[in-house]
Amino acid sequence: MGFREHSAPVRRILGIVLAVLLIGGVAVAVAVGREEQGTGTDPGTATKTVRGVIGSEKAEFFADPLVVEALAAKGYTVRAETSGSWAMEQLPLKGYDFVFPASKAPADELRKKAGGAGSVLRPFYSPLVVVAHKNAARVLADAGLATLRGTHSGTLRMKPLLDAAQADRTWQQLKGAEKYGELSGSLFVSTTDPSASSSGALYLAAASYVADGGRVADGDAAVGRTAPLLRKLVSVQGAQQTSSDAPFRDFISGVGNPLVLVYESQVASLLLRGQDVGDLVVLYPDTTVSSDHTVVPVTELGRTVGELLVSDPKLRALAVRHGFRPQGAPGEFASAAAPHSSYLNQSLTGVRQAPVPTSAVLHALARRAQGGSS
């Protein structure tokens, strides 16, 4: 009798539970379907999957749904893994269609390893810059280590900066630094690990060029002349990251070193997307090395994607949206960056481009800077 009294409510409860489970199953199916579409696989359009290894500074570009959609419209889904540019040399390339380091030197070595997929492609580039907060930038300017143009940008004077590093100067020795508790300890620019990451290696190349009187390091003797200084630039930093992404995020969140080397594209990307950058000041080194982001095709599929990044107007516009400067099309970046000219030096006025040493010399610079032998 008791069972009969409660059988109808029980059936109703069971019915509700089953309905919830069914609805949940549909919801899961929809979520999975959306996730699959987010990877660039259009249910109505077959796409070819292209696997690549990229520098972390390009991860947000390839993850952008608009980039995914633009590539899918051309018939491709890119599956990208991140790695430090120099660390890519240690990867087995079998199974990948392209590698995409942040500069030409590692790309040249990767091309030799990749074999017969043809020449490299350079869709876009980005100058290296140093980001500082307003207080640090003002102290540097008062000490003659930087010149400011307005509130949010300026020029970092590399020779005085390297002289300060050579003399082991601290923030406390700079006039005005005593007013800011965050400005203490050794004066240095925080960079990535030069043995694993392109930006750290390129910074050493620029420093070597300036310290050696405007000469490009071309062998053991040249490396030896600047090795003691480069060792100081690296040893004072302690542990270094293998990509520029984490140090930049730390800087934006208000932690980490007062001076951090990053790609201009990382700053420009935030500005172009309307994100708050706080009291950030962009300092362009007066002698620097631009980072030529270089696609090394391993297969013909990889080459096709690289060519699309170079030639497709929509993908080029999206690269600009992520802060990159398209090769051969300066007007595209200048137009987008115009509202942010108080931060960005669009024409790179006052910036000298140092030639990049060979891959072998860059490796030697990194080894000596980290205390190894040449």
Q: Is residue 13 one of the residues assigned to a domain?
A: no
Average pLDDT estimate for 297-304: 95
CATH of the domain at 188: 3.40.190.10
pLDDT band at residue 216, thresholds of 50, 70 and 90?
A: very high
Q: Is residue 182 one of the residues assigned to a domain?
A: yes
pLDDT band at residue 180, thresholds of 50, 70 and 90?
A: very high
Q: How confident is the model over 120-160, as pLDDT tens digits? A: 999 999 999 999 999 999 999 999 999 999 899 999 999 99
Q: Is residue 220 one of the residues assigned to a domain?
A: yes
Question: What CA–CA distance (Å, rounded) separates 223 from 324?
Answer: 31
Q: Is residue 34 one of the residues assigned to a domain?
A: no
> Which pLDDT score, from 0 to 100, does residue 116 have?
60
Q: Are residues 91 and 221 in the same domain?
A: no
Q: Are residues 98 and 184 in the same domain?
A: no
Measured at the CA of 341, the angle between CA 336 and CA 346, to 5 degrees, comes to: 70
Neighbours of 38 (CB within 10 A): 12
Average pLDDT estimate for 245-253: 89
Question: What CA–CA distance (Å, rounded) separates 154 from 342?
Answer: 9
Q: Are residues 120 and 217 in the same domain?
A: no
Question: Identity (one letter) of the amino acid at 183?
Answer: L
Average pLDDT estimate for 263-284: 94
Q: Are residues 263 and 166 in the same domain?
A: yes
> Which pLDDT score, from 0 to 100, does residue 188 have?
95
Q: Are residues 113 and 146 in the same domain?
A: no
Q: Are residues 246 and 272 in the same domain?
A: yes
Q: Using the predicted structure, report yes or no on whether residue 118 has a pLDDT greater than 70.
A: no
For residue 329, what are the domain limits? 48-125+292-340
Q: Is residue 73 one of the residues assigned to a domain?
A: yes
Q: Are residues 276 and 137 in the same domain?
A: yes
pLDDT band at residue 29, thresholds of 50, 70 and 90?
A: very low
Yes or no: say if 274 and 125 are a contact pair by the CB < 8 Å rule. Answer: no
Quote the number of domains for the chain: 2
Average pLDDT estimate for 303-310: 96
Question: What CA–CA distance (Å, rounded) separates 225 from 23?
Answer: 71
Q: What are phi and psi of 83, to 5 degrees?
A: -160, 155
| Beta strand 290-297 pairing with 48-54 | unpaired
Q: Are residues 231 and 85 in the same domain?
A: no
Q: Are residues 266 and 247 in the same domain?
A: yes
Q: Is residue 78 one of the residues assigned to a domain?
A: yes
Higher pLDDT, residue 100 or 23 = 100
> Which pLDDT score, from 0 to 100, does residue 109 have?
87
Q: Are residues 282 and 205 in the same domain?
A: yes
Q: Are residues 175 and 312 in the same domain?
A: no
Q: Is residue 318 one of the residues assigned to a domain?
A: yes
DSSP letters for 114-177: H-SS---EEEEEEEEEEEEEHHHHHHHHHTTSEEESSSSEEEE-HHHHHHHHHTT-BGGGSTTG
Q: What percent of the chain has a predicted confidence (pLDDT) above 70?
A: 86
Q: How confident is the model over 34-85, as pLDDT tens digits? A: 233 333 344 445 789 999 999 888 999 999 999 999 999 999 999 999 988 8
Q: Which one-letter DSSP state was computed for residue 91?
A: S
Q: Are residues 297 and 258 in the same domain?
A: no
- Residue 262 tokens read as 């990053």
> Which pLDDT score, from 0 to 100, does residue 245 have?
84
Q: Is residue 12 one of the residues assigned to a domain?
A: no
